[in-house]
Amino acid sequence: MAKYIFVTGGVVSSIGKGIVAASLGRLLKSRDYSIAILKLDPYINVDPGTMSPFQHGEVFVTEDGAETDLDLGHYERFTDTSMSKLSNVTTGAIYQGVINKERRGDYQGGTVQVIPHITNEIKERIHRVANNGNPDLVIVEIGGTVGDIESLPFIEAIRQFRKDVGRQNVVYMHVTLMPWIASAGEMKTKPTQHSVKELQSVGIQPDILVCRSDRPLPQNIKDKVSEFCNVLPECVMTGQDVKSIYEVPLAMEREGLAEQVLRLLGMQQRQPDLRSWQTLVERLYRSEHHVEVAIVGKYVRLTDAYLSVIEALKHGGIAVNSNVNLRWINSEDIEAYGADKFLKDVHAIVVPGGFGLRGVDGKVAAVQYARDRKIPFLGLCLGMQCAVIDWARNVEKLSDANSAEFDPESKNPVIHLLPEQQDVVNLGGTMRLGLYACRLVPNSLVHNLYNESVVYERHRHRYEFNNAYRSQFIAAGYLISGTSPDGRLVEAIELTNHPYFIATQFHPEFQSRPSSPHPLFQGLIKAALDLQQQRFANGAELESSAILEHLAEQKYDQQQEQHQEQQQEQQQEFASATSA
């Protein structure tokens, strides 16, 4: 029988519940426990697929085609475990399920209410995850902030859950804020106290507190929180800010998070094996090189819209011992001021996915700039479509070439709607979604990078390369290096007279892991590093202040020693301030 850890958050949104849940998953897996993770989201949308990236950030796509919350990307990257449609449930999906049951007559004429019908549906979704693969532990993150009206049914459901499955099978973990007030020179516990009080008011006593802060919690503060919040002192833990999210599992291990979870659940304590993760973090902090990568997008005001792309680029940097500095460029700015103003000194260009006409011409201009100046380029989904439009307009001289998505009347729709999408009316969950096979052309660059003949990648799109132009493009030197197994759909393109120019209809970023970087991103960063070193050798590029700063950083072990010294000094400072 599975055991359950419920993760809630208090005080403010974006407190880091997802990273804490993912880190706990990593720690438990390192102890050879099998896990599953579920995200419960309180918004009424059935899924985030139709939500604006500016409001919700990235839509993460699972192998089975679910459009889900971006936290599922963290779960996969931290635990090396693939999520599924079962792994993300919203209020909209819960109510939709209950209403469908009511319409079928499943409730036999009863009055349908929040309790028990909505809460029972929530609990049923949790049990589905536990029954799928029979994991040892199920981690359930409840979105939003304790006290929000939207999350009350979920809070009530997890309150009932402990009674249903037994107290010894459930742990409640609460992530909260412990701010340092500079003007007072004090760390304040009141936000945490009130957040726990709010949770207690709906019947839940947290077993573990993870207190987010910009500095370590001294023992006397932990003791105070323990006293006021009715939590054991060893279960009050520092969730201190770190340079990289990939350091969080190591920080939580030092705090004893997994050890306390297993103790509370009565499970066997096992020795963790975090050696590979420790090595990964050391490589991240000890990078010897530096490259500048431009991300040309239309949602750059909220970088979470490209979260998996960001992380995949970092993974590629880890693999080639290089720090990746991201330069965010709004594609509309390129339309207004030209590409050279923003791209002339970067070492690689990424054009990621998106929907709609706004900013597309700026993306096309960025593609042309990368193609003409031999700058390593990676196009993703819409990025590939922009690469196709660039080739059609600027090489094939089809000046009106466009995507049917942006110009339905175009005489040269080099990108057009999939035939199976012609009669689709609803937007939610109706695209080409999930994992599909891609057959690679032998000896192509993508084939050499993957070292596979057939690969499986995740998709999220409606429009495709128009095969009416395939022969014309190939005759002009275009290499279609990846297709669907039947050859009908174009999946990847590349240029043979370019050091690194690849664009894919699929989203490789969704399958990149810090422990196993995606080959297309690793290849991009390697090509960017080659360009950076070539420019420097030719005297065409001086080391920027960012490179100098990076090279001047002390080694990881020296940083760790300084960090420990600072912790000790701060703890002494807090202790003396509190006693005074």
Q: Is 438 a catalytic residue?
A: no
Cα–Cα–Cα angle for 430, 434, 440, rounded to 5 degrees: 125
Rounded to whole angstroms, the Cα distance separating 3 from 300 reads 40
Q: What is the DSSP string of 463-513?
A: EEE-GGGHHHHHHTTEEEEEE-TTS-SEEEEEETTSSSEEEESS-GGGG-B
The residue annotated as part of the active site, out of 290, 347, 507, 518, is: 507
Helices (H), 375-421: 382-394
Rounded to whole angstroms, the Cα distance separating 27 from 8 reads 19
The residue annotated as part of the active site, out of 438, 459, 509, 518, is: 509
| Angle between helix 248-255 and 275-285 (nearest 10) | 130
Unique residue bearing structure tokens 């950076």: 532
User: Residue 184: which residues within 8 A CB-CB, separation 6 or more?
Assistant: none
Give which of 136, 193, 190, 183 is closest to 4, Cα–Cα.
136
| Angle between helix 17-29 and 248-255 (nearest 10) | 70
Unique residue bearing structure tokens 């006593």: 205
Q: Is 518 a catalytic residue?
A: no
Terminal CA-CA length for the chain: 51
The residue annotated as part of the active site, out of 211, 229, 235, 381, is: 381
Cα–Cα–Cα angle for 434, 428, 389, rounded to 5 degrees: 70
SS3 48: helix
Gyration radius of the chain's alpha carbons: 26
| Angle between helix 119-131 and 91-104 (nearest 10) | 100
Pairing between β-strand 236-240 and β-strand 454-461 as defined by DSSP bridges: unpaired
Rounded to whole angstroms, the Cα distance separating 213 from 204 reads 23
- Confirm if 274 and 253 have CB atoms less than 8 A apart: yes
- Confirm if 343 and 329 have CB atoms less than 8 A apart: yes
Q: Is 509 a catalytic residue?
A: yes
Phi, psi angles (nearest 5°) of residue 493: -130, 155
Which active-site residues does the annotation give? 381, 507, 509
